[in-house]
Structure formats: structure tokens, C-alpha cells
């Protein structure tokens, strides 16, 4: 151990970082670039991570927020992000004769299908999620205006008035806090016992596993760093979980340069995790930053094994023509 560096025990959460949906979305952009060459247009950030987006920009991806920003008449691929889009977006792409590729995470597509089925069966759909998040906009956009009621908080769950309490169903955003969502669902179920829910919970396996890992390690450390972007819902939830579990200092950081050493410079134990759209290289960068100031001993804490894989969108699979 270095004589001039204080000791720092680092607990590395596992699983952490990229989930299968994020891997699929990034691979979709890279495969499209390899097959068709630049530019490849991407509607919205493919995943919520600046490092990933900048890396894809350097390879020839062009990010736009709306389809009208894509040049008319282009034959270049236009890819929809992992968060999913409203029904009107692929319809608009078809009307403009764009070569559209949908990189929506299959677990988000599952929520879209559930909402659509509930609507067809005459149920009002309650969506538990965060207003303005691309995934919520996409899910609400699967159904006609007014067919989906957004509930963000327990207070809103208590005050929500359905059109018909006997014909009600709920779905959720895939990246929510497990505990907050359970509280909201419990309130709604108590008020509306006939409410129908998903057969399998909508909060995705990756969100669940990363939050469970944080719950395990947060009480054991002085501080926690969540590597992720401020607009990443699942990353924000990880920081909140750490705080709730008693970790006295928790921060969401994008890069090592964001670390507040006034807070993190005098600790003896640290946990590190990463949101589902944060690459492992950024975790390593954070560890290196601490290793420059501390004598670091890293332990990995495994709480789940992940082997989920999603194939690429059909247009990008080499076996698609076979």
C-alpha cells in the first residue's frame, strides 16, 4: 500500500452498465453504418449517454430530434432510439419514404403492446412514469389522445379519477424505481380492485437488477457514484435508491471530471455502479481517478447474472434474407 495515499475500499456493483436493449440499439447504429456507410440518421439520442452519442457521431451518425430535420429524399437509414416512439413517427417516416429501422428496446415494445391490447378491450390505461421522458411519450403515443392517463406520484395515484373503475388497466415505464412504483400500484389496487396489470412486471430486468445491487452495497459504504447521464431515468433512480438505503453521499456523474472531490476526497469506502446506458470504459475512468488519489482495493459484488440477448432489427441481420 502506498504510504502517501489513504486506503479506499471500492465495491463494484454487478450487474451494472449496458443492458441488452442498449447493446442492441448501439449495435444497430454501428451495423447500419457498416452496411450503408454514413450518414445514418438517428431520431433522438439512441441511448441517454453523451459519450456513446459522441462516439457514434464521430463514426457518421447524425442525431435529430424530429424527422423533419432529416433531408427529404435521402436513402440513408433513419433509426428510432431504444426508448420507443409514438405511432405517428413510423407513419411519418413511411409517408416520407424513409428507410426506417426501429431500435426500440423489445421490453419497451412489450409495454406498447400491452397498452394497445388494454385499449382494444375497452379499458382506460394508466401509465406510471415520468412526464416528458421519451419512453413515456412513445407509450402514450401508441393510443389516441386521452386514452392514457399518466400517474407520476403516490399523491396522483390517490387523487386519480378513472372514467370507469371497473374498466381500468396499468402499465409502467421500464426504468422506474421498483419501490416507488410498488407504492403507486398498491394505492391504485386498493382504490380500484378490478384494475388489470401486466402478466410480467414492466420494469425491466436490468433496472431491477441494478437497483437490487445498489440496495445490497449502499449501507456498506461511505459514498456511491452512479455513472450515467442526468437525462437517464434508470441512472437517476439508482442514485435515489442509494440515498434511500442510507448512503450519506451519492452522486450521478457522467465522467471522472464531474467528481466533486470536496465530497469524495475524504472517504474510506465507495460503491460504484453504472446506469444501463453507461459504457464500462467510463466506470474504469472513474476508478482510475480514485486510484490517482487513493490506494484502491476493488471488490465486485454480484447480485444477479444477466445473459439476456436481443437480435438486431430485421433489416440489419445478415440472416434476414435467408
Phi/psi at 277 (nearest 5 deg)?
-110, 10
41, 191, 235 from 46: Cα distances, Å: 10, 38, 16
3, 83, 212, 286, 311 from 301: Cα distances, Å: 27, 29, 11, 17, 29
Phi/psi at 250 (nearest 5 deg)?
-135, 140
Distance between CA 77 and CA 149 in Å, rounded? 34
- Choosing from 45, 124, 135, 240, the catalytic residue is 135
Closest CA to 140 of 84, 196, 206: 84
* Per-position DSSP letters for 245-268, written without gaps between them: TT-SEEEEESSGGG--HHHHSS-S
Strands 168-172 and 223-227: unpaired
Count helices and strands (H / E) in the chain.
11, 12
Query: Among this protein's residues, is 135 annotated catalytic?
Result: yes
Q: Which long-range contacts link 73-78 to residues 24+ away (Cβ below 8 Å)?
A: 73/97, 74/41, 74/98, 75/99, 76/36, 76/38, 76/39, 76/40, 76/41, 77/32, 77/36, 77/40, 77/41, 77/101, 77/315, 78/41, 78/42, 78/43
Q: Which residues are catalytically annotated? A: 135
Amino acid at each position: 500500500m502506498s504510504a502517501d495515499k489513504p486506503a479506499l475500499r471500492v465495491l463494484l456493483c454487478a450487474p451494472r452498465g449496458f443492458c441488452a436493449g442498449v447493446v442492441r440499439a448501439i449495435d444497430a447504429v454501428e451495423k447500419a453504418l457498416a452496411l450503408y456507410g454514413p450518414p445514418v440518421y438517428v431520431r433522438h439520442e439512441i441511448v441517454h449517454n453523451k459519450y456513446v452519442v459522441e462516439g457514434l457521431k464521430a463514426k457518421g451518425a447524425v442525431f435529430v430530434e424530429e424527422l423533419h430535420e432529416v433531408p427529404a429524399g435521402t436513402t440513408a437509414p433513419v433509426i428510432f432510439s431504444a426508448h420507443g416512439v409514438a405511432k405517428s413517427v413510423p407513419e411519418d417516416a413511411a409517408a416520407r419514404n424513409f428507410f426506417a429501422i426501429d431500435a426500440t428496446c423489445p421490453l419497451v415494445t412489450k409495454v406498447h403492446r400491452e397498452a394497445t391490447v388494454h385499449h382494444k378491450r375497452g379499458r382506460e390505461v394508466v401509465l406510471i412514469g415520468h412526464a416528458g421522458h421519451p419512453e413515456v411519450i412513445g407509450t402514450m403515443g401508441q393510443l389516441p389522445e386521452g386514452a392514457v392517463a399518466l400517474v407520476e406520484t403516490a399523491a396522483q395515484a390517490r387523487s386519480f379519477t378513472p372514467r370507469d373503475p371497473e374498466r381500468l388497466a396499468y402499465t409502467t415505464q421500464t426504468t422506474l424505481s421498483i419501490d416507488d412504483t410498488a407504492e403507486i400500484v398498491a394505492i391504485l389496487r386498493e382504490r380500484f380492485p378490478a384494475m388489470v396489470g401486466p402478466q410480467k412486471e414492466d420494469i425491466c430486468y436490468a433496472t431491477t437488477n441494478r437497483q437490487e445491487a445498489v440496495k445490497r452495497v449502499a449501507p456498506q459504504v461511505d459514498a456511491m457514484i452512479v455513472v450515467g447521464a442526468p437525462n437517464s431515468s434508470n441512472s437517476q433512480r439508482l442514485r435515489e435508491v442509494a440515498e434511500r438505503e442510507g448512503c450519506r453521499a451519492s452522486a450521478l456523474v457522467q465522467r471522472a471530471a464531474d467528481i466533486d472531490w470536496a465530497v469524495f476526497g475524504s472517504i474510506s469506502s465507495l460503491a460504484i455502479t453504472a446506469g444501463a446506458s453507461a459504457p464500462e470504459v467510463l466506470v474504469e475512468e472513474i476508478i482510475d481517478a480514485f486510484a490517482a488519489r487513493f490506494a484502491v482495493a476493488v471488490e465486485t459484488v454480484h447480485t444477479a447474472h444477466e445473459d439476456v440477448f436481443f437480435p438486431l432489427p430485421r433489416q440489419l441481420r445478415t440472416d434476414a434474407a435467408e
